[in-house]
Amino acid sequence: MSGLEDLIQAFGFPFMQRAAAAGTMIAVMCALLGVFVVQRRLSFLGDGLAHAAFGGMGIGAFVIVSSGALAQGGALLRNPLWIAVPFALLTGLGIAWVRDRTELSSDTAIGVFFAVSVALGVLFFSRISPDANIGVNVMDLLFGSILAVRTTELAIIAAVAVVATTLLLTLWGRLAYATFDDELARTDGVRSRALEYLLFGLAAVVIAVSATVVGIILMAAYLVIPAAAARIWARSMASMTLLAVVIGVSTTLAGVALSYLFDLPTGSAIILTQALVFVAAAFTQRR
């Protein structure tokens, strides 16, 4: 059977369809956020918030086990995401607040929250008995398990994708203006400070939801590489945004397909496909 037939057959499997759907939605959200993250020189933000999600998952898993919720309730209630998402959101807003209120640079503010979140995650995961089935594998959390994405997670990702994409597209003009020149935008009535908090909050929620699927280690690359490659080719912010979405979605689907065909870890296959596009962009850059 040819590779193409293998692929067609592969995307007939429900788990592959869920992986493709989750990957596409994550790629769109991350690309839309990524253009602002890259242009605002916040590339470290993806790492910081993904690790905040790890801390939140640790706290969430501990709360679920120690409260006895494992034995009751549906799969939705037993998901540590319910704690990981608000925890990441608080972390995102905390980073924005430190940037706003102190003279610390973004990477320093992110670094502080990053370290504290990892410490909390390790602390709480260590307090859970190895026999407890919390539905979260720490290794999957770190390196991703997009092929294992369940319907519940897909529904959560879809809900977040609808809200995040709508907000980002609606506010795109004002976000882009404030990204170009915060002060100039403010003289034109753009509420750039509120937009920055919103951007950090949205990034936190999107990353927390996506990191459980893509993997915490690879999350930052998902946010940065498509936007960075698009920046090399694009001449305008609008074309950069569109290109980032196209690169993000196409490399995600290609990565999922490659991982199936060659039995590769899916997260790695996606990121390495994105990296190939980035290298191609760097080599073909117009000077």
Residue 181 within binding range of another protein, rule CB under 8 A: yes
Please say which residue, 190 or 204, places its beta carbon nearer to another protein. 190
Q: Whole-number minimum distance, CB 72 to another protein, in Å?
A: 49
Residue 6 within binding range of another protein, rule CB under 8 A: no
Q: Whole-number minimum distance, CB 194 to another protein, in Å?
A: 13
CA angle, residues 97, 35, 139, in degrees to nearest 5? 75
Q: Which of 104, 167, 174, 275 binds another protein (CB under 8 A)?
A: 174
Q: Whole-number minimum distance, CB 270 to another protein, in Å?
A: 25
Q: Which of 14, 68, 130, 189 binds another protein (CB under 8 A)?
A: 189
Return the residues of window 243-282 that contact another protein according to CB under 8 A: none
Residue 194 within binding range of another protein, rule CB under 8 A: no
Return the residues of window 225-244 that contact another protein according to CB under 8 A: 231, 234-241
| CA 71, 77, 78, 80 torsion-angle sign | negative
Residues that contact another protein, how many (by CB under 8 A): 26
Give the binding site for another protein (CB under 8 A): 39, 172-177, 179-181, 183-184, 186-190, 231, 234-241
